[in-house]
Amino acid sequence: MIRNLNFAVNAGNYLCIVGENGSGKSTLVKALLGLLAPMSGYIIFDEDLSRSEIGYLPQQTEIQRDFPASVREVVLSGFQGRMGMRPFYTAAEKKEALEQMERMGILEFAKRCYRDLSGGQQQRVLLARALCATKKLLLLDEPVTGLDPKVTQELYDLIETLHKEGVTIVMISHDVEAAVKYATHILHIGDITFFGSKKDYLNSQPGRRFLAGTKREK
Amino acid sequence: MLAQLSYYLSYSFVRNALIVGVLIALCSSLLGVTLVLKRFSFIGDGLSHVAFGAIAIASVLKMSNRMLIVLPVTVLCAVLLLRAGSRTKIKGDAMMAMLSVGALAFGYLLMNIFSTSSNLSGDVCTTLFGSTSILTLTTTDVILCSALSVIVVLIFIIFYHKIFDVTFDENFARASGTRTNLYNLVIAVTIAVIIVLAMNLVGSLLISALVIFPALSAMRVYKSFFSVTVCSAITSVVCALSGILISIFADTPVGSTIVAVDVLAFALFYAAGALQGRARVPA
């Protein structure tokens, strides 16, 4: 497990967090989200970003596989964090949910059941929900796990579009090649820890070793 | 038959039973989906045993209104269980088993030692299976049950979207700033109230059926949280109504008749769901 980690994400960055299984990626995500307290040290948020303004795309849970929920209901629940004790959604929120569904290309599924959708469509639904929660920062936890190559590519393109539109992206990934292709910054967790821009990573020791490793596997 | 029905309805205890039965059935169905999907079903089952123990204490103390002790004890246990369950799953499971069997044993022991009634096994049977208690409700019971039912329904409506959020994806909810602990607490307390209410209708051993069957039935056919909730509420009310009426006409125990109707309804919904699925495949 990694110790003494230090890194920063600035608005507009596209940070990929890569590393072997068990290196502490999931723990880091939980700490960032406030689901776990960091064992020591600090997570500092900028003044114009509060913790609740992180849009989170979690890995799929067991419950969701048989949950009876329409796509619209799932997307709307993205607003919950901002609602406080207010019990119902406003007309503006309902309208925005429709806009986010359109942005993700899932408007036609609005009334369909979430569990009946394909893996890629489900990820788009969860992205739309995350976008209802925030405009600023998306945290994606292994978003392409279990998707076929075509759908994976489409999802990466979609995330890239969001990044170009000004959303800060933090993505946990196994897929180092995609990380190097899309990200502006890389955080590599493992025996040797690296944090820096993509260009520096490609020339660094862990970067070269990791990339060489993935190429050899093919 | 209609003449006989109106004859029965002229008795106030039958009307009371129907009113309370419908209200309880409505409440108990509302949180079914959450209970089933959050793997909270075991909490419902365990709490009903706790309520049995509390009833034993109440009857030993010869309290005129058992609700006064049963409700707080059950709510307290619900909160404690939720706390334990949220830390680790296995611990919560084991604690649940301990608590429920313990309460059952102590309840029966207490009733046995301190029993004043000549018909002990009858008393125990009534508490466990609710045989006739729904037909012997006092006016105070009716008012209390109705008030609690209305409160449960109101809480459910107010927290409807929060309950959805917390059930569907608790991690996302917590990460985006929803106060998940608070809403889990609301859910647990509401479940406790529902269980205490439902004991009047079906007795403590059959409560889980009343909570879970309507939700499972609705989930066979409907695909959104809203439609499942509405459908399970309607199913539950219809089953309870027909169950009570059948039990009056056929002279069967109320609780088990209602649950039998619920099981039958589930079979129908299951078949409907299977047909629906088959119709969709070729299309």
Residues 6+ apart with CB under 8 A from A7: A15, A187, A195
pLDDT tens column, B43-58: 777 888 888 888 888 8
Q: Is the pLDDT of residue B14 over 60?
A: yes
Reduce the DSSP state of residue B240 to 3 states and report it.
Answer: helix
**pLDDT of A217 above 50:** no
Rounded CA-CA distance A199/A203 in Å is 7
Task: Please tell me which residue of chain A has the smallest CA distance to B167.
Answer: A63
Residues sharing a CB contact under 8 Å with residue A2, sequence separation 6 or more, in sequence order = A19, A23, A24, A28, A189, A190, A193
Does A41 have pLDDT greater than 50?
Answer: yes
Q: Dihedral sign for Cα B163, B167, B170, B173, please.
A: negative
Query: Which residue range is the domain that position B227 belongs to?
Result: 2-271
Angle, alpha carbons B35-B169-A33 (nearest 5°): 135
* Average pLDDT, integer, range B136-151: 85
The answer to whether residue B281 sits within a structural domain is: no
Asked if residue A207 has pLDDT above 80, the reply is: no
Banded model confidence at residue B156, pLDDT cuts 50, 70, 90: very high
The yes-or-no verdict on residue B231 having pLDDT over 90 is: yes
DSSP annotation of B176 reads T
Q: Check residue B280 and give its pLDDT.
A: 62
In a domain, B277, yes or no: no
Residue A15 CB neighbours (<10 A):
22
Q: Is the pLDDT of residue A70 over 70?
A: yes
Residue B103 lies in a domain: yes
If one counts the domains in chain B, the total is: 1
Q: Work out the minimum CA distance from B190 to partner chain A, whole angstroms.
A: 17
Question: At residue B266, does pLDDT exceed 90?
Answer: yes
Closest CA to A194 of A13, A17, A1, A9: A17
User: What are the distances in angstroms from CA B260 to CA A6, B19, B177?
Assistant: 61, 20, 43
SS3 A186: strand
A61 contacts in chain B (CB < 8 Å)? 169, 171
Residue B243 lies in a domain: yes
pLDDT of residue B217: 94
Q: Where are the alpha helices (DSSP H) in chain B?
A: 2-9, 12-30, 32-37, 41-60, 67-87, 89-113, 120-129, 139-158, 160-168, 170-175, 180-202, 207-221, 225-250, 254-280
Binned at pLDDT 50, 70 and 90, residue A218 comes out as: very low
Q: Of all residues in chain B, what percent carry a pLDDT higher than 70?
A: 90
* Alpha-carbon span A125 to A114, nearest angstrom: 8
Which residues in chain A are closer than 8 Å to B87, comparing Cβ atoms? none
Q: Residue-wise over B28-49: b if at least 16 C-beta within 10 A, else e?
A: bbbbbbbbbbbebbbbbbbbbb
Residue A7 forms contact with B (CB below 8 Å): no
Q: Which residues of B touch A51 (CB under 8 A)?
A: 177
In-domain check, residue B42: yes
- A49/B contact by beta carbon, under 8 A: no
Position B147 in a domain: yes
Contact residues, chain B to chain A, C-beta under 8 Å: 33, 37-38, 157-162, 164-165, 167-169, 171-178, 218-219, 222-228
Q: What angle do CA A93, B175, A97 make, to 5 degrees?
A: 20
On average, the pLDDT of chain B sits at: 83
CATH number at residue B264: 1.10.3470.10
Within-domain flag for B282: no
Mean pLDDT of A63-84: 84
State which residue of chain A sits closest to B219, comparing Cα positions: A68
Q: What percent of chain A has pLDDT over 70?
A: 85
Task: Work out the average pLDDT over B94-110.
Answer: 84
pLDDT of residue A194: 80
Whole-number average pLDDT of chain A:
80
pLDDT at position A39 is: 65
Q: Does A31 touch chain B (CB under 8 A)?
A: no
A52: chain B residues, CB-CB within 8 Å: 176-177
Tell me which residue has tokens 């999907």: B37
Alpha carbons B192 and B43: distance in angstroms, whole number: 9
Stretch among A10-14, A69-73, B83-87, B261-265 having the lowest mean pLDDT: B83-87
For the stretch A175-187, pLDDT in tens is 778 888 888 888 8
pLDDT over 60 (residue B88): no
Percent of chain A with pLDDT over 90: 3
State how far the Cα of B1 lies from the Cα of B97, in Å rounded to an integer.
46
Q: In terms of pLDDT, which residue wins out, B27 or B84? A: B27
**Angstroms from B224 CA to nearest CA on chain A:** 4
Span B184-219, pLDDT tens digits: 888 888 988 888 888 877 887 788 888 889 999 999
Largest CA distance in chain A: 54
pLDDT digits (tens, 9 = 90+) for A106-160: 888 888 888 888 888 888 899 899 888 887 888 888 888 878 888 888 888 888 8
The count of other CB atoms within 10 Å of the CB of residue B277 is: 10
Residue B283 lies in a domain: no
Over range B32-37, report the average pLDDT.
82
